[in-house]
Amino acid sequence: MRILFLSGTAVGGSAMSTRELAERMAARGYEVDVLLRVETAPRRWMLQHRLVNLAVRLPRLLALPVWRVAGLIGGHRRLVNESPVRVWSTILPENSLRKFLRDQAPDVVVSASIGRMAWRSIREELSAAEIASVLYLREEAAIGHLDISNAPPDLLLANAATLTERAAAIGFSAQFVPSVVSLDGIRVDTTREVVLFINPVEISGREVAVALARECPETRFAFLESWPLKPEERRWLADTLVGLANVELRPRTDDPNELYGDAAVLLAPYLTNGRPRVVLEAQANGVPVLGSSLDALVEAIGPGGLTVDADAPIAEWATALRYLLSPTNYDGFVAAARTYSERSEVDPEMIVGEFETLLLELMTTRGGAS
């Protein structure tokens, strides 16, 4: 079976888990490619986006030439590396997909973290080529691919039980398959000195993080870059952190020692309903988590931390943080975090086995390759 993994992002936990799943499937003998969207040509991306928006508003005869032009933009793909799997980058995966289908047609395409219009285009291409489609729900916003776009895949997966319930509520059956998070090499000895906030952007809850640092001047905070920060995001941080002597802004790193080496608590006041891989990574290091009480995040944190409503008064966040860090409670949360990270549900080999079984069942049902 030839598998193409297609991700709407090349950064963050979703892209990392996509690559790890792809590598483990390749290790099981499958031919695997990964196509990642990169944000290296914003003007071409914006032009294509505007043409697509124009096309959907035009009558069919007038829209067809606009669709053709939109489909020619950003279709170039670049080979990033060839081992252990071939990884390609592109600015518009939906347009690069056509070249894949012509040159080395996969038996199945697994898409994740993809935009709504991109998914609609991908689904149409795969349907026309009679190639199996899999949509992997990693964010709640992707539920709209099912009802708003009316483009359900041949197989629907979700990395959170909450997302399977959301899909079921609108009439779609999704299989629960947690994201692969390889913990090999991620475990370190932490000195437990700082509250760690990874990816200080708006959807990660930066407003809460900053307000909490102000509310708790006795506690050290480390804000760690993850996604490439846009100039306006960097300016916001620089302006907002002025005078906050207890906050250190740190550059992005892949070194586990620099990531978690002095973390006492992972702060996750997210505004999006998902299961971020950093929660599992932190808990594997015995670092409890303080996060938003969104369903999927509650599911990810379990007993290994505390949750607070994202829009709760900052005093509630401060009370929860101090409770978690208090000497009488902290060791219990550390033990619970580490134990929860070892549950069978998140074992990578079990996840990959379930994923493989579902793909093989899909291909058997369709009479495709094995």
Q: Which tens digit of pLDDT belongs to each residue from 182-238?
A: 998 899 999 999 999 999 999 999 999 999 999 999 999 999 998 778 889 999 999
Whether the CB-CB separation of 21 and 355 falls below 8 Å is answered with yes
Output DSSP code: residue 204: G
In what side-by-side order are the strands of the sheet with 78-81? 78-81, 86-90, 31-37, 2-7, 108-112, 132-137, 155-158, 175-176
* DSSP symbols for 39-67: -S-HHHHHHHHHHHHHHHHS-HHHHHHHH
CA count, 13 A, side-chain hemisphere, 355: 32
Q: Do domains 2-182+346-366 and 194-340 have the same CATH topology?
A: yes
Please determine, for residue 340, whether its predicted confidence score (pLDDT) is greater than 70: yes
Strand residue runs (E) in 271-336: 289-292, 305-308
Give the pLDDT of residue 12: 84
Query: What CATH code would you report for 2-182+346-366?
Result: 3.40.50.2000
Question: What's the chain's average pLDDT?
Answer: 89
CATH T-level topology, domain 194-340 = Rossmann fold (3.40.50)
Please determine, for residue 261, whether its predicted confidence score (pLDDT) is greater than 80: yes
| 196 strand-pairing partners | 222, 266
| pLDDT, tens digit (0-9, with 9 covering 90-100), for 61-96 | 666 665 555 555 666 788 888 888 999 988 888 888
Give the pLDDT of residue 53: 61
Domains of the chain, residue spans: 2-182+346-366, 194-340
* Residue keyed to tokens 């090499």: 185
pTM above 0.85, yes or no: yes
Please determine, for residue 52, whether its predicted confidence score (pLDDT) is greater than 70: no
| pLDDT, tens digit (0-9, with 9 covering 90-100), for 113-165 | 988 888 988 998 899 999 999 999 999 889 988 887 678 899 999 999 999 99
Task: Tell me the pLDDT band of 41, cut-offs 50, 70 and 90.
Answer: low
